[in-house]
Amino acid sequence: MESEALTQAANPSPAKEGEIYLSVVIPTFNEDRRIGKTLASLREYLDSRHYRYEVIVSDDGSTDTTVPIVKLIQEGWQQLHLIASPTNEGKGSAVKRAMLAGSGRYLLFTDADNATPIEEVERLWPFTPDYPVVFGSRHISGAHIHIDQAQHRKLLSRASNLLIRFVAIPGVWDTQCGFKLFERNAGKNIFANVHLTRFGFDIEAFVIARQLGYKFKEVGINWTNDPDSRVRAGREAIRTLIDLFRIKYHMLAGTYKRVGYIQKTGLSREEAPTMSRVG
């Protein structure tokens, strides 16, 4: 089954003439040690594809040399774009800005550390005809973790996932994996309604997707932990927990029942959407 899916993935549905087929969104904050290598990896892969693409780096007020590095790479790569915020507003804000700016038929959000290689998008393509949102997961059948997290980070991650499933998104095993593919209209409709600016934005995006009627598919991917991660597990777990209960409050208050569409609805929606995972 998996080999069949990967064979189909080599041929995503054809792009229209002149259309940007894939927009790759990368949020950054003080990533000068990694962003050059990540962009080189992206370019090598994307230049070998038969469709048009763009890469959008959305910088969240970096104080190092991330922005100058991206600008230098831009000089020889016309498909690379930069959105630079003068201040640090949070990863959620950076992703939202780029998702709303992307013009591809599909919008792929991925992390600057390249923990999930861009080639893994081929695992997601087979499901795009039926699912407007297809996302990578580290915690279901088919996933492969090549360098594991430290034990305390792993425990925090699993505990957070359990709580997120219980409080907000039942049926989804990994809301926080930074590898998510959206059909253009679904992505814009979802992120136009996202208000959380930091690490809880992923959870809110799923809640909004469900409210808007978009089906989503969870797919096991290859993932490599970066031991040089800048994310402080304890601090961000607390922030995510606070955001989770903000989301729950808004769910109970009916806030998400008032979300709306800014684009044509695109791929099919359902009044009672299902959530599915590969396993």
Tell me the per-residue pLDDT of 123-177, one tens digit each, with 9 for 90 and over.
Answer: 999 999 999 999 999 988 888 887 655 555 656 666 677 788 778 888 898 888 8
Candidates 81, 116, 86; CA nearest to 101 is 81
Q: How far apart are CA 186 and CA 175, in angstroms?
A: 17
Quick one: 181 exposed, middle or buried, by C-beta within 10 A (0-12, 13-18, 19+)? buried
Q: Residue 100 pLDDT > 90, yes or no?
A: yes
Task: Return the ∠ at Cα 117 (arms to 228 and 65), rounded to 5°.
Answer: 50
Quick one: 104 exposed, middle or buried, by C-beta within 10 A (0-12, 13-18, 19+)? buried
How sure is the predictor about 11, in pLDDT bands with cuts at 50, 70 and 90?
A: low
276 in helix, strand or coil?
strand
Phi then psi dihedrals of residue 162, to 5 deg: -60, -45
Q: Which residues pair with 121 in a beta bridge?
A: none
Q: How far apart are CA 27 and CA 140, in angstroms?
A: 25
Average pLDDT over residues 240-264: 92
Which amino acid does the sequence have at 64?
D
Average pLDDT, the chain: 86
Q: Are 122 and 6 in contact (CB under 8 A)?
A: yes
Q: Are 250 and 191 in contact (CB under 8 A)?
A: no
Candidates 56, 49, 54; CA nearest to 25 is 56
Candidates 135, 128, 102, 78; CA nearest to 25 is 102
Q: How far apart are CA 116 and CA 145, in angstroms?
A: 10
Provide the sign of the torsion angle of the four alpha carbons 10, 147, 149, 28, taken in this order: negative
Concatenating the DSSP letter of every residue in 75-124 gives: TT-TTEEEEEESS---HHHHHHHHHHH--SSEEEEE-TT-SS-GGGHHHH
Q: Choose which CATH entry (3.40.190.10, 3.90.550.10, 3.30.470.30, 3.50.50.60) describes domain 17-259.
A: 3.90.550.10
Phi then psi dihedrals of residue 272, to 5 deg: -125, 80
- Local structure of residue 256 (DSSP, 8 states): G
Quick one: 268 exposed, middle or buried, by C-beta within 10 A (0-12, 13-18, 19+)? middle
Enter the pTM of the model: 0.86
pLDDT in tens, 25-80: 999 999 999 999 999 999 999 999 999 999 999 999 999 999 999 999 999 999 99
